[in-house]
Structure 1
Amino acid sequence: MIDSMKEARFPAMTVTDPARFGRVAVLLGGTSSEREVSLDSGAAVLAALQSRGVDAHAVDGIPALVDEIRAGKVDRVFNILHGSHGGGEDGVLQGVLDQLGVPYTGSGVLGSALSMDKIRTKQVWIAEGLPTPRFIRIPAGGDVRAAAFALGFPVFLKPSSEGSSVGVARILDESALDAAEKIAGEYGGEMLMEQMVRGDEFSVPVIGDRALPSIRIVPKGEWYDYHAKYIADDTQYITPGLEGDDEAEIRRLAHAGFVSAGCSGWGRVDVMRDVERGFQLIEVNTAPGMTSHSLVPKSARVLGIEFDELCWRILEQTMGEGDLA
C-alpha cells in the first residue's frame, strides 16, 4: 500500500548523479532566536546529503555564505536557517541569493517574507476566503488587555514574526494578563492575539505541488509548546492524522494556504480542527525543522521516503531546466 502511495504521489527523482548538484552549502545556525534548532536541523541535513555523495558543507549564517559565494565555493544552497533577524525565513536571504544568481531551497522573497509575518498571512487567508481564527493586531506597546477582552477568553498571544513557539503566551482568563503583558513588553515588537482553537492540532508538510500526509500532534501536556516540540519524548505524532474525506480536506486546505501565501518549494502548514468551526489555518513554516523530533520527515516516512531521500528531493527543486538538460 505504501509503495503504491509513494508511486502515485512522487514521480521518479529527476537527478540521479550527486555531482549534478555541484557544491552545496547547507546554511544553518545564524543569529535568530531559533539558532540552536537550526544547528541541529543543519547537522542532520548535511549528514544525509553527504551520505548520498553530495558535495555538501556547512555554512553558519548569511555573512559567511556571501563570503563563500564570492569565493566561488557555492553552486546552490540548502537553506535550513530558522526565523528572522539573522534567520533565513524572512525574505532577506532569498533577496540576496536572487541578486547573486544562486539557487536555493524553499520559498522565494514574497512567500518567505509574508509567511514569517503571521498577521499579514492571516489577512491574505481571510481575503482568499480561507478559515483562520479571529485575531487582533497589537502594535509595539499596544494594549494587550483591551485586545483580550475584545476577542474574549481564552486566547493566544504570540510575536507576529517568530517561530518554534518563541514568546507565546496562553491566556485562559483575566488572571493571566499580567504575565502576558510582561511577555509583550520583553518582546517589544508587534504581537498577534488570536482566539484559542479548542480541538485537535495538525501539521501538513508540502513538497512542490504535493501535500503530504497530515500529522496529528498529541502532547502529554496541555499544549504543544517549545518543550513538547524539541525536548520531550512523550509527545505523540499520529500519521496520517485523519482518514478518508477529512484527510483529503485538510491536505487541500493546507496546500491552498501554502500557495495563497506565495510559498513554493517545500514547507509545513499548521492547522487545527475546532470542535465548532472545523479546520482553521494557523501558520506556515517555510524552513521547517529537520531534527529527530521534526514533522516533515515523519510524514514523508509514511510514503516510504526516508530522511536522506527527503533531503535529496528538496534539493532537487533548486535545479532549473538548464541544470537538468
Structure 2
Amino acid sequence: MSSRTAARIAVLKGGRSAEREVSLVSGAECAAALRQEGYRVVEIDAGPDLAQALIEAKPDVVFNALHGRWGEDGCVQGLLEWLGIPYTHSGVLASALAMDKRRAKQVFRAAGLPVAEGLLASREEVRASHPMPPPYVVKPVNEGSSVGVYIVPAGANGPAQVSDDMPETLLVEAFVPGRELTTAVMGDRALAVTDIIAAGWYDYHAKYAPGGSRHVVPAELPAEITEACLDYALRAHGALGCRGVSRTDFRWDESRGLAGLYLLETNTQPGMTPTSLAPEQAAHCGMSFGALVRWMVEDASCFR
C-alpha cells in the first residue's frame, strides 16, 4: 500500500495489558514519526470502545503499537480483520502462536530451531516442588517484556514462590546461561545482532529503566554465531508466519560454541521507540526511524 493511498493512520497504543506503559511510549513515538513523514495521524488508547473508535476514525491503516495480551496475541488483529482495516505487523495466527510460548516452542522445534527444554506446570505445582532440576526459569505462557519471570538458581533452597497474580498455568524451562542476543527481521531480511548487556537478569527494569542495559550493535561475536542468529531469526519469522517487523531473542553460552545458542522467543510487535532494539538495528542498516515506520505502514495489509 503506497503512502498516497494511506493518508490517515490510526496508532493503537496503551491497552490494558501489563505492558500498557511501554505501549503508550511506543505509540507516541510512532505517531510523532508518522506525522513527520506527512501522514494524518489519530492516536487511540485501546479500550472497550475500540471498535467504535476505529469506525469513527475511519483510518486507511492501523499502526498497531500495542504490546502484550489483547494487543499482540491475535485479539485486536481479529477485530481489524473483521472491520477490514489494513494493519501493521503480523496477522491473527502468527500473533497468537508467538504469544503462546509453549506452542511457539513446538513450532520452532518442528522447524529444527534450538530451544530450551520446557514443560507446563500449575502455579501450585511450581510452589510445592521443583518441576525440573535447577537452574530453571518460570514465566507466564502469554506475557512479554519479562513480566512475571522467576529464575530458580542452581542449589536453590526451595522452589519458586510465585505470586498469586501469576496465571494458573506456567511455563517452566531450563535456564540457559550466557549472553543475551537479539535479531530483528524486517520483511524477508534479518537486520543485525545486538548484544544486550545488563548488570543482572534482563528483566522489565533492565529493558525500560534509564541505564538499565546497554546495547552493542552489531554484536562482537564469532562469524558463525552472527550468521546463526540471522538465520534462526529469519526462519522463526517464517515458521510462525510473521509479517512486517519481528524480533527474536537468544541466549548464548560461549563455552559451548554454536551448540550453546538457544532461541528464547519471537516478539511479533517489538518496542518501537527510536532507541528500541529493532529500530536501532534498522538505523545500523541505514534506515531512519521515520523511514522504518513508513515502510511498516506501506507493508500493512489485511486478511492474512
TM-score (norm 2): 0.91
Partner in structure 1 of residue 5 of structure 2: 20
How far residue 22 of structure 1 moved from its aligned partner, in angstroms, is 2.6
Q: Deviations over 1:222-244 (max 9, x none)?
A: 22111110003152211111353
Give the partner amino acid of 2:232: L
Q: 1:34 aligns with which of 7, 19, 26?
A: 19
Structure 2 residue 81 is the aligned partner of structure 1 residue 98: yes
SS at match of 1:281: strand
Equivalence for 1:249: 228
Q: Which residue of structure 2 aligns with residue 67 of structure 1? A: 52
What does residue 5 of structure 1 align with?
Answer: none
* Bigger mean CA offset, 255-264 vs 49-58: 255-264
Question: By how many angstroms is 1:175 displaced?
Answer: 3.7
Shift of 1:71: 2.6
Following TM superposition, by how much is the alpha carbon of 1:28 offset from its aligned partner in structure 2, in angstroms?
A: 0.2
Which secondary structure does the structure 2 equivalent of 1:182 belong to? Answer: coil
SS of the residue 1:166 aligns to: coil
Provide the rounded CA distance (Å) in 1 between the counterparts of 2:28 and 2:250. 28
Partner secondary structure for residue 47 of structure 1: helix
| Cα contact 1:19–1:54 (8 A) shared by 2 | no
Report whether the alignment pairs 1:181 with 2:161: yes
Give the corresponding residue for 1:297: 279
CA distance in 2: counterparts of 1:66 and 1:234, whole angstroms: 37
> Which one of the candidate residues 63, 88, 91 is aligned to 1:78?
63
Amino acid corresponding to residue 167 of structure 2 in structure 1? G
AA in 2 matched with 1:137 = L
Determine which of 107, 118, 121 is the counterpart of 1:124: 107
Residue 160 of structure 1: aligned partner = 141
Question: What is the aligned-residue RMSD (CA, Å)?
Answer: 2.0
SS in 1 for 2:161: helix
Q: Find the counterpart in structure 2 of residue 9 from structure 1.
A: none
The answer as to whether partners of 1:23 and 1:75 remain within 8 angstroms in 2 is: yes
Q: Give the stretch that moved more between structures: 127-136 or 155-164.
A: 127-136
Shift in alpha-carbon separation, 1:90–1:168, aligned structure 2, 3 A: same
**3-state SS in 1 of match to 2:243:** coil
- Given that 1:141 and 1:188 are in contact with CA atoms closer than 8 Å, whether structure 2 keeps it comes out as no
Displacement after TM superposition at 1:88 (Å): 0.9
* Percent of paired sites with the same residue: 40
1:205 corresponds to which of 166, 176, 184: 184
Distance in 2 of aligned mates of 1:301 and 1:176: 46
* Superimposed CA distance per residue, residues 262-319 of structure 1 (whole angstroms, 9 cap, x where no aligned partner): 2222111111112333221101111111135410111111111111111111111015
Please give the per-residue CA displacement for 1:125-183, whole angstroms capped at 9, x wherever unaligned.
Answer: 122221001111113543455444x3x211111111001111001110454645x2233
Partner of 2:173: 194
Q: Which runs of 5+ in 1 are unaligned?
A: 1-13, 321-325
Is 1:318 aligned to 2:300, yes or no? yes
Query: How far apart are the structure 2 equivalents of 1:234 and 1:300?
Result: 22
Describe the shift of the 1:198–1:216 C-alpha distance in structure 2 as closer, same or farther (beyond 3 A). Answer: same
The residue type paired with residue 37 of structure 1 is V
Instruction: For 1:311, give the aligned amino acid.
Output: V
Structure 2 unaligned residues grouped into runs of 5+: none
Preserved contact between residue 123 and residue 162 of structure 2 (Cα < 8 Å) = no
